[in-house]
Chain A
Amino acid sequence: MILERIDEQLPGALLDRHDFRGDVTAVVAKDRYLETVDLAFKEGFQQLMDLTAVDWPERDLDGRLVRFDVVLHLLNLATQARLRLKVRLAEHEALPSITGRFHSADWAEREVFDLFGISFDGHPNLSRLLTWEDFPGHALRKDFPLDGGDPFCMADSTAPYTH
């Protein structure tokens, strides 16, 4: 339903879609992201449940490495319908911030920035949320080592114990 409404008003904004038992998902073109989110809001999807990302380090779409999916989960409070929007991003690509539309996107975008290294243009305070300031790298990227280069976590390195 909502997908048809988006198609009507923003033709070409949705690149891909699927709908499994009311679980509606759409892939949004990167340059149509803001207006699509805006339209979803106007159509009643007024609560941002979550904004997160997925890393597919080797995903190749038409000869282009498109590494990340930024995923939005929206809830329509009146009808209880849910909508999932995805945007595909290559490494070093930024997305406009939606903090102007959803206040709850503030920390969610900071978390995605912290753990995936995706920037959000126009965010009021884009700093790390969970890890510390000079943390090396972005922890939820698939190529990030589990120990994060921490010398105490390395295999076979039991800490020397001398006082």
Chain B
Amino acid sequence: MAEMDLNDAVMTTRLDAVVNWARKNSLWPMPFGTACCAIEFMSVMASKYDLSRFGAEAMRFSPRQSDMMLVLGTVTNKMAPVLRTIYAQMAEPKWVISVGVCASSGGMYRTYATLQGIDRVVPVDVYVPGCPPRPESMIYGVMKLQEKIEKESLSMRKDHIRRFYESMDRQRGIERDKGLTEQQAVREMVLDAADHNLATIY
């Protein structure tokens, strides 16, 4: 039997490369909008800046249907467990972009009420600085995330998310054993991590 001449019909590549190529060009964003960054995000999605040019136009307001969470604004200590629950509910594989200084570090709110950076409670992939960042910055953040997705291995992302689930189990355990609320448990984990010179709880 003669060998078939496949010419350009077949291309060989690595699985990671082809899967990640698909992933990075079909991100489904979910806005976790708590402040003015969310207003700026509206124009990122609208016609002038148009995030759909980067394959991320399918915005969903349910964590179950999205895989890229954009945290747009100030997150308070009381909001922290909500953020964690929503991140846990998202479809895998999932990514987080922290938009603006408030989400990234607490920003100008160096007070008792504000979480000093969401990366204490959920893993963040890309930080976008600004108060609020211009739409171009947010698009640049998404492009940076695409670069990151291109380079990562599939198992790496899996482990990354599993570590978060383990911290979620730990949180539920603390709630159950000590009879604490979600908020108190997260608070205790953050303070405990600080005692061990860690900035994060996952």
**A interface residues with partner B (beta carbon < 8 Å):** 131-135, 139, 145-153, 159-163
Give bound CA distance, A55 to B57, whole Å: 50
Q: Tell me if B117 is interfacial: C-beta within 8 Å of chain A.
A: yes
CB-CB under 8 A for A159 and B116, given A132-B181, A132-B184: yes
Min Cβ gap B83→A in Å is 15
Q: Collect the chain B residues with CB atoms within 8 Å of residue A161's CB.
A: 199
- CB-based contact B199/A162 at 8 Å: yes
Give bound CA distance, A106 to B106, whole Å: 31
Tell me which of A133, A149, A159, A162 contacts B112 (CB under 8 A). Answer: A149
- CB-based contact A146/B111 at 8 Å: yes
Q: Tell me if B194 is interfacial: C-beta within 8 Å of chain A.
A: yes
- CB-based contact A153/B111 at 8 Å: yes
- CB-based contact A151/B194 at 8 Å: yes
Q: Between A and B, how many residue pairs show CB distances below 8 Å?
A: 54
Q: Tell me if B113 is interfacial: C-beta within 8 Å of chain A.
A: yes
Tally B residues with Cβ within 8 Å of A.
21
11 other contacts beyond A132-B183, A162-B199, with CB at 8 A cut-off? Answer: A131-B113, A132-B187, A134-B184, A147-B111, A148-B112, A152-B106, A152-B120, A152-B190, A159-B120, A159-B199, A162-B198
Top 7 nearest A-B pairs by Cβ distance?
A148-B112, A152-B116, A159-B199, A153-B110, A160-B197, A132-B183, A161-B199
Give bound CA distance, A134 to B112, whole Å: 13
The majority secondary structure among interface residues of chain B is loop
CB-CB under 8 A for A153 and B112, given A132-B181, A132-B183: yes
The majority secondary structure among interface residues of chain A is loop
The 8 A CB mask of B166-202 against A (1 = contact, 0 = none) is 0000000000000001011001001100100111100
The 8 A CB mask of B137-167 against A (1 = contact, 0 = none) is 0000000000000000000000000000000
Min Cβ gap A133→B in Å is 7
Which positions 56-108 of chain B face chain A at CB distance < 8 Å? 77-78, 106
Q: Collect the chain A residues with CB atoms within 8 Å of residue B197's CB.
A: 160, 162
- CB-based contact A132/B77 at 8 Å: yes
Q: Collect the chain B residues with CB atoms within 8 Å of residue A147's CB.
A: 110-112
Q: Collect the chain A residues with CB atoms within 8 Å of residue B191's CB.
A: 151
- CB-based contact A159/B110 at 8 Å: no
- Chain B minimum-CB-distance residue to A134: B184
- CB-based contact A152/B194 at 8 Å: yes
Give bound CA distance, A147 to B114, whole Å: 9
Give bound CA distance, A161 to B112, whole Å: 21
Give bound CA distance, A157 to B78, whole Å: 22
